[in-house]
Amino acid sequence: MQENLKSQISGLKSQIKACLFDLDGVLVDTAVYHYQAWKRLANTMGFDFTEAQNEQLKGVSRVESLNKILAWGGVTKTDAEKEELATLKNSWYVDMITKMTPSEVLPGTVEFLTAIHETGYKLALGSASKNSATILERTQLAHFFDEIVDGNMVTKSKPDPEVFLKGAALLGFKPEECVVFEDAVAGVEAAKRGGMKAIGIGEKSVLTEADKVVSGLDKLTVKDLEEL
């Protein structure tokens, strides 16, 4: 019986071979910087931007985020004006994240990435952020990742699975051999639409489609991946 159980666990372990991580809210929390930059932009146009609204932008591209904010403020802009506004917001955001330090990495992140890396899992980043490389460098997390797929490499935003499918392809694995770590509903949906397992980082009542939900990477071990 015990040998049979070991065999089952081994079989499960071989199923998941690659881990794909969202960035914001999973490895680091840059939501506060996005919020400050978007709020500043909204204020320059004469209206306010709330933290509740900022939550709705999780996993959403910069252009789509701007469109939502303009709609909330009842403001209409041309495509050229939108491009200028998005660039302005990003310049403020980049200025803030270039001052990030490893102390801003979320609890348990380094320990968990170290454990799965040493166990032999391949790792990729799958983020809508176009500034992923800067953030990973500033927080000293870049060396953990075999591949990085970010907003500069994809044309479709989550819940479209493009970013994760591209990550899986670059790592050389089938979707069913991958697990995605996400804090956003759109991100979990993207993982499931791509045929991958999903571990939600956040609340079970929100991330209802995830295969497993925890409050943070500090609550996960390699065993959790073997049992998916």
Q: Reply yes or no on whether 79 is catalytic.
A: no
Taking the C-alpha atoms of residue 203 and residue 227, their distance in angstroms, rounded to an integer, is 20
In whole angstroms, give the CA distance from residue 109 to residue 117: 12
- Straight-line distance from the first to the last Cα atom of the chain, in angstroms, rounded to the nearest whole number: 21
Torsion of CA 93, 130, 112, 201, to 10 degrees: 80
What phi and psi values does residue 123 have, to the nearest 5 degrees?
-125, 140
Instruction: Give CA separation, 142 vs 86, 147, 193, in Å.
Output: 26, 9, 27
Bridge-based pairing of strands 18-21 and 122-126 is: parallel
24 given a catalytic annotation: yes
- 24, 48, 183, 218: the active-site residue: 24
Residue of 22, 29, 48, 150 marked active site: 22
Q: How many CB atoms lie within 10 A of CB 32?
A: 12
Q: Cite the active site residues.
A: 22, 24
